[in-house]
Amino acid sequence: MRVHFIAIGGSAMHNLAIALHKKGYQVTGSDDVIFEPSVSRLARHGILPEKMGWDASRITTDLEVVILGMHALLDNPELLKAQELGLKIYSYPEYIYEQTKDKLRVVIGGSHGKTTITSMILHVLNYYNRDFDYLVGAQLAGFDTMVKVTDAAPLIIIEGDEYLASPIDRRPKFHLYKANIGVISGIAWDHINVFPTFEDYTRQFDLFIDTIQPGGKLIYCKEDEELNQMVLKSTANVEKIGYEIPQHEVKDGITSLLPDHTVLNVFGNHNLMNLNAARLVCNALDLTDEQFNLAISSFTGAAKRLELLSKNDQTNVYKDFAHSPSKLRATIQAVKTQFTERKLVACIELHTFSSLNKDFLAQYADTMIAADRAIVYIDEKTFEHKRIKPFSKSEVQTAFQSKELQFFNNSDELKDYLLGLNFIGTNLLLMSSGNFGGLDLVKLARELNTK
């Protein structure tokens, strides 16, 4: 099987390329620029393009499959050549379905928690040496790649992104997997560049429910009122199973499940709901609650989700991927609830297209209200790169509805401000899908005033 990837360097694309290479396929690819860790991983498997850039001569009639990444443009010369030759062109999710249409497909969707729920399920299945394929949006401890596709595994666990499939396929990715077991963790407006209204966005989840195969299962967060109403109205021929926050206790900074006092390494109501979603999926895969609890107690969290950078008796420093309003609120609340005796300094970097849209910014109102000190950072270069008029401090304060909120657009000034604070009895939470202008966060955590 000869397969060519247009835009092979993406996080999902390069992992699929490696998975197919391991499967014995002849894999080639192209991209205009590729960053780490994609470069090293592709090179290690001998499938890194010899030179960067697009070249229509790479597209020949002996290619059996062309897989098109979202990064490619409609006028990409390789895409145009593939279309001219009448080659079969798949989007990433389309090809995943083609590879797994004879398997049991579990698809985890939702505006938040997808990676964590998927990671929890993978951890539990791995604990019991179950044979499964997977597709997840983060690199996980104990897993070499983010994608595994084999002939033998009877099921696949898929993190189902609601973003578009490809430049020539404007359907959300998670519609294309045709789940047997579907999960929706909650709905909070995102991706406003392709779903300009909340109604446009929520409709994608309604359509996702309809893609679940007849007789399948829908596992959903019934504490989300919008989602709850959607599920109640749905006429899809599926079993509907709601979940909520499980019984638990927090004592001395440690969260345990009740009634058996299973000690967890993760915390926060959002993670407890994620855990319940994962438990119900594992139940559907013939694992008992007791088996699930035994395995989940050793789960340390998904990459970049409440990742502990440093700790001592006075201070914990966390980095989290949170960037949307719902994730920001939930992550702050989680740390405050876990450490009720400590103050919290919370800092978010606004980095995504949605978060830097002036009309969307009002969605952040009161999201940082639980923090004792709230900070918003936007790299001034991000505005230049995205060709957006910069926000002023007063505009950000108004949107977040906090006159006490601190605003920075220079990473050095942010660093100096944090190093000038007293962190005795205080935690620091750094949230971003970016990199805070290149700040070394581990070094920053070590240098904070905690004595």
pLDDT tens-digit profile, the chain (451 residues)? 999 999 999 988 999 999 999 999 999 999 999 999 899 999 999 999 999 999 999 999 999 999 999 989 999 999 999 999 999 999 999 999 999 999 999 999 999 999 999 999 999 999 999 999 999 977 677 777 889 999 999 999 999 999 999 999 999 999 999 999 999 999 988 888 889 999 999 999 999 999 999 999 999 999 999 999 999 999 999 999 999 999 999 988 899 999 999 999 999 999 999 999 999 999 999 999 999 999 999 998 877 788 999 999 999 999 998 888 998 999 999 999 999 999 999 999 998 878 888 888 999 999 999 999 999 999 988 877 777 788 899 999 999 999 999 999 999 999 999 999 999 999 999 999 888 989 999 999 999 998 7
First-residue to last-residue Cα distance in the chain:
61
Q: In the structure encoding, which two tokens stand for residue 348, read together?
A: 């978010």
CATH of 307-450, one of 3.90.190.20, 3.40.1410.10, 3.40.1120.10, 3.90.1860.10: 3.90.190.20
CATH T-level assignment (fold) for domain 2-87 = Rossmann fold (3.40.50)
Can you give the pLDDT at residue 304? 76
Spell out the domain ranges in the chain: 2-87, 95-297, 307-450
Structural contact between residues 187 and 220, judged by C-beta atoms closer than 8 angstroms: no
Q: How far apart are CA 95 and CA 343, in angstroms?
A: 48
Neighbours of 25 (CB within 10 A): 14
Structural contact between residues 36 and 11, judged by C-beta atoms closer than 8 angstroms: no
Can you give the pLDDT at residue 138? 74
Buried b (16+ CB within 10 A) or exposed e, 204-214: bbbebbebbbe
* Inter-CA distances, 399 with 120, 158, 235, Å: 35, 35, 39
Neighbours of 242 (CB within 10 A): 17
Can you give the pLDDT at residue 178? 98
Q: Starting at the edge strand that comes first in sequence, how are the strands of the sheet with 262-263 ordered?
A: 248-251, 254-257, 262-263
* Inter-CA distances, 321 with 32, 38, 239, 389, Å: 27, 20, 32, 25
Can you give the pLDDT at residue 99? 94
Strand pairing category for 262-263 and 254-257: antiparallel
Can you give the pLDDT at residue 29? 97
Q: In the structure encoding, which two tokens stand for residue 312, read together?
A: 């001592």
Helices in 111-154 by DSSP H: which ranges? 114-127
Q: Helix (H, G, I), strand (E, B), or coil: what is residue 343?
A: strand
CATH T-level assignment (fold) for domain 95-297 = UDP-N-acetylmuramoyl-L-alanine:D-glutamate ligase (3.40.1190)
- Check for a shared fold between 95-297 and 307-450: no
Helices and strands of the chain, counted as H and E runs: 14, 22
Task: List the beta strands (DSSP E) in 190-264.
Answer: 217-221, 239-243, 248-251, 254-257, 262-263
Q: Helix (H, G, I), strand (E, B), or coil: what is residue 283?
A: helix
Task: List the beta strands (DSSP E) in 17-141.
Answer: 26-30, 65-68, 89-91, 104-109, 133-135
Q: How far apart are CA 82 and CA 85, in angstroms?
A: 5
Listed residue (222, 200, 243, 197) closest to 363, CA to CA: 197
